[in-house]
């Protein structure tokens, strides 16, 4: 007849071992808090395209505030200043995101200067935000019209490009570092004489992307 103590020890050893879920979750929350380094306010010209893209970054909601305004150039900067004051938050980085498009050249450079004077950094593009998407696939050195971006992106993506697509961040994420390097090279080509309103193509979106990547949860 088997010894009862031995039988009890055998049954006990066969019981599945579970990790304490509550303790692990608590530790994970502590890690999440440690990963939060900076708070961002991003005020965009477009109401959908740019906000949808930047909201794709896996950063805590309390770290990233993305607002699409529908304003352009100087009026966007005025709205960004108003929003920053209205929010009454201690943001570490405040950004304006806008394009050259077909607006008057002098408005573009003056909007950049106005934003910087108000403490904003600027992620601008000449001619349109989609240039940043294109740089995920190829270098671009020749001037492009905003009407050319869509067909090229359709070819590179392998499906029709939709301007307000909610999948663009995910589709391009693996090529992000390549896009940053291409944007850096493109900007460097203009050197000290860089004139944002005249230099087509050019973008500084990569500067904002690089900052956001520092706060991404892996």
Residue 172 pLDDT = 98
In three-state form (DSSP H/G/I as H, E/B as E, the rest C), the secondary structure along 146-197 is: HHHHHHHHHHHHCCCCCCCCCCHHHHHHHHHHHHHHHHHHHHHHHHHHCCCC
Confidence of residue 76 (pLDDT cuts 50, 70, 90): very high
Predicted structure pTM score? 0.82
CATH topology of domain 39-213: Rossmann fold (3.40.50)
Residue 165 pLDDT = 96
CB 111 within 8 A of CB 73: yes
Model pLDDT for residues 1-43, shown as the tens digit of each residue:
555 545 444 444 444 343 333 333 443 444 344 455 789 999 9
Delimit the domains of the chain by residue range: 39-213
Average pLDDT over residues 168-186: 98
Please tell me the least confidently modeled range out of 29-43, 103-117, 119-133, 188-202: 29-43
Q: Is 54 helix (H, G, I), strand (E, B) or coil?
A: helix
CB 210 within 8 A of CB 121: no
Q: How many angstroms separate the Cα of 173 from the Cα of each of 5, 97, 132, 178?
A: 59, 19, 12, 10
Put the strands of the sheet holding 64-68 in their side by side order.
64-68, 40-44, 93-99, 121-126, 202-203
Residue 60 pLDDT = 76
Omega before residue 201 within 30° of 0, cis: yes
Confidence of residue 57 (pLDDT cuts 50, 70, 90): very high
Model pLDDT for residues 165-174, shown as the tens digit of each residue:
999 999 999 9
**189 vs 195: CA distance, rounded Å:** 12
């Amino acid at each position: 007849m088997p010894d009862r103590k031995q039988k009890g020890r055998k049954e006990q050893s066969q019981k599945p071992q579970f990790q304490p879920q509550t303790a692990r979750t608590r530790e994970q929350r502590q890690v999440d808090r440690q990963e939060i380094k900076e708070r961002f306010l991003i005020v965009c010209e477009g109401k959908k395209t740019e906000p949808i893209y930047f909201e794709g970054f896996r950063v805590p909601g309390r770290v990233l505030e993305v607002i699409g305004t529908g304003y352009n150039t100087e009026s966007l900067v005025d709205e960004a200043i108003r929003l920053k004051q209205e929010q009454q938050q201690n943001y570490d980085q405040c950004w304006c995101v806008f394009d050259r498009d077909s607006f008057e050249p002098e408005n573009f450079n003056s909007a950049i200067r106005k934003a910087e004077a108000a403490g904003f950094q600027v992620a601008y593009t000449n001619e349109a935000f989609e240039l940043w998407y294109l740089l995920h696939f190829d270098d671009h050195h020749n001037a492009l019209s905003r009407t050319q971006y869509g067909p090229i992106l359709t070819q590179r993506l392998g499906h029709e490009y939709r301007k307000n697509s909610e999948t663009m961040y995910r589709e391009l994420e693996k090529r992000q570092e390549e896009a940053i390097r291409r944007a850096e090279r493109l900007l460097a080509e203009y050197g000290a004489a860089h004139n944002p309103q005249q230099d087509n193509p050019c973008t500084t979106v990569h500067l904002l992307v690089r900052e956001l990547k520092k706060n991404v949860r892996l």
